[in-house]
A and B are shown apart, each in its own frame.
Chain A
Amino acid sequence: MGLWANFKANRELAEARRDVARARSPYSIAQFIDKCIELGKLDLAFEDAERGIQEFPESESLQEAYKRMIRAKCADDLKSYRDEIRTSPGPKAYYRLACLYKEMRDLDQAVELARKGVEDYPNYEGNYIVLADLRYERFQRDLRASDGLEATQLFEKAVDLNGENYRLLFQLAEIYRAIGARDHAIEKVKMILNFAPDDRNALNLLAQLKEAKQPKSNDLKEILEDFERRAAAGNFRKQGRLSGRYVANPDQLERKLPTLERMPGFERVVVLGPHGELLAAHPGGAQRNRSEADTLKKMFAAAIDCSLRMDISTFEKGLFESESGFTYLVVADSLQIAVLSSTKVKKEKLRQDVHRFVEHELYI
């Protein structure tokens, strides 16, 4: 980059950084990351993306910006790993490319490659670990027993293939401990101690496990189903920054809602809390939108249930088109936001405006 181009890029970056400082939100940080990518400042993008995701882990804008940044950063690796699969395929080639796609959050591709790796090279543990990691990630988000069971089965398969993989055994022991499968966890820690008898971490974990409560059953499926039941009762879900703030202060939320009036065709917005309780609405306020809120709660419940049962994981958003307009449902950090509009607005514009409202207005 020449001197003048460098100066111009730095000036643009400084301006973008000032925008973030003026109103720090996932949306403004994502815009800054995109600017860094555009100007080829990938290290800077990486730093900000990491910081942003730590600060706003539930943000969609930041997840998407992170994906774009990783894609830009890994473009060369991607090309060489793809070439490797074409020219000299092997279990590790599939593993490396699957891991890269996982890092890039292209999960469909990661699963496809790891599955192919498992099919063609069933005696290599790496591809089982990728599949298990992805399933476990989903289990952590959706807290469904079936995901937990599949993840642990895949991890166990990897352990069968290599019983001295320290990281794998430790991770599996931690997973078992987290879901309350004490004896399963102890078994894995003992496997570690067989080849690393003085390992301090393993010894500490074993001591903690021995003090833990014995579960009612030792059957993993039953333990996971019990875990799912407790999760459904809301025992494990952490409240994020956004829902924490507005559940405690619904009045503050109600004051934000009129900003949506700027959207063409806007008719109504109703916001429900993590358990479907009515928090705020506009126009008319919460009290005058009770019956609409009850109806929208049913729509959210159906969409959430549909997504989980169809194995496409947590419901994020849905656009319902009917004769008199659009009903757009969005879940953001457990807040359930429904925006009703006429058909005057273009669907893409509706999506963009609601996205900006959620990712910017609600955070500042």
Chain B
Amino acid sequence: MQAILKELNRVAGVKGSMVVTKDGVVVAECLGPDLRKEVVAAVSSHMIQVSGRSLEDLGRGSLDRVALTSAHGRMVFVNLDVGYLVVITKMEMKLGQVLIEVESAARKIKQLHSRI
């Protein structure tokens, strides 16, 4: 899993990635120098929990994917069943490009998990 995240981080514009459970337990991480593991895990876990609960309350079923765009970067969360893949990117990466790379990494992680 670490190798998949490392490969994802080689894509220009990706600042870091992590696989984290809903409760904030870090399964694997590969973060750039500007990102702190505990902060990313805590913030992601909060985001995933609130979004998941809110979508259920709205009657929209379980959360599959979230793509956030902010003034200086993007964040993507993908449900892997065993946890969530969280990716933080710079703004220079176009959203479409981010999603292709993230989905590809998510697929590899899911395949890896199904083999275990």
Binding site for B on A (CB under 8 A): 106-109, 138, 141, 291-292, 295-296, 298-299, 301-303, 305-307, 309-325, 327, 340
The answer to whether B71 touches A141 (Cβ under 8 A) is yes
Most buried by A among B57, B58, B88, B90: B58
Question: Smallest CB–CB gap between B77 and chain A, Å?
Answer: 9
A302 touches B62 (CB 8 A): no
Q: Is the CB of B72 within 8 A of A313?
A: yes
Kindly state the separation between the CA atoms of A324 and B63 in the bound complex, as whole angstroms.
Answer: 10
**Additional pairs, 12, CB under 8 Å, beyond known A108-B91, A298-B54, A323-B64:** A107-B72, A295-B54, A307-B68, A310-B88, A312-B68, A312-B72, A316-B70, A317-B68, A318-B66, A320-B65, A322-B55, A322-B63
Asked if A327 meets B74 with Cβ closer than 8 Å, knowing A306-B43, A316-B69, A320-B66, the reply is no
- Tell me which of B60, B70, B88 has the highest count of chain A C-beta atoms within 10 A of its own C-beta: B70
Given contacts A298-B54, A306-B47, A323-B62, contact A315 B91 (CB under 8 A): no
Contact A316 B71 (CB under 8 A): yes
Contact assessment for A295 and B46 in the assembled complex, using a CB-CB cutoff below 8 Å: no
From the candidates B50, B54, B61, B75, name the one contacting A310 in the complex (CB within 8 A).
B75
Q: Decide if B70 touches A320 in the complex (CB within 8 Å).
A: no
What would 8 A/B residue contacts be, using CB atoms closer than 8 Å?
A107-B72, A138-B71, A305-B43, A306-B43, A310-B75, A318-B66, A320-B55, A327-B58
Contact of B70 among A301, A313, A322 (CB under 8 A): A313
Q: Which residue in chain A gives the minimum CB-CB distance to B48?
A: A302
Assuming the A-B contacts A107-B91, A321-B66, are A312 and B50 also in contact, with contact meaning beta carbons closer than 8 angstroms in the complex? no
**Secondary structure type dominating chain B contacts:** mixed
Residue interface mask B89-115, A partner, CB < 8 A = 1: 011100000000000000000000000
CB distance from B65 to the nearest CB of A (A): 4
Alpha-carbon separation in the docked complex, A114 to B34 (Å): 16
Inter-chain contacts of B40 with A (CB < 8 A): 310
Contacts of A296 in B (CB 8 A): 54, 58
* Chain B residues within 8 Å of A109, by CB: 92
B104 CB, min distance to chain A CBs, angstroms: 17
Closest 6 CB pairs of A and B: A323-B61, A312-B73, A313-B71, A313-B72, A302-B50, A307-B70
Whether the Cβ atoms of A323 and B60 lie closer than 8 Å is: yes
Q: A108-B13, A320-B51 are in contact. Are A312 and B46 (CB under 8 A)?
A: no
In this assembly, does B67 line the interface, its C-beta being within 8 Å of a C-beta of chain A? yes
Instruction: Using known A-B contacts A108-B13, A317-B69, A320-B63, determine if residue A295 contacts B57 with beta carbons closer than 8 Å.
Output: yes
- Asked whether A312 lies within 8 Å of B88 as measured between CB atoms, the reply is yes
Assembly CA distance A106 to B72 (angstroms): 10
CB distance from B24 to the nearest CB of A (A): 13
In the assembled complex, B3 has its CB within 8 A of some CB on chain A: no
Residues in B whose Cβ lies below 8 Å from that of A320: 51, 55, 63, 65-66
Interface assignment of B39: CB less than 8 Å from any CB of chain A: yes
A327 & B92 in contact (Cβ 8 Å cutoff): no
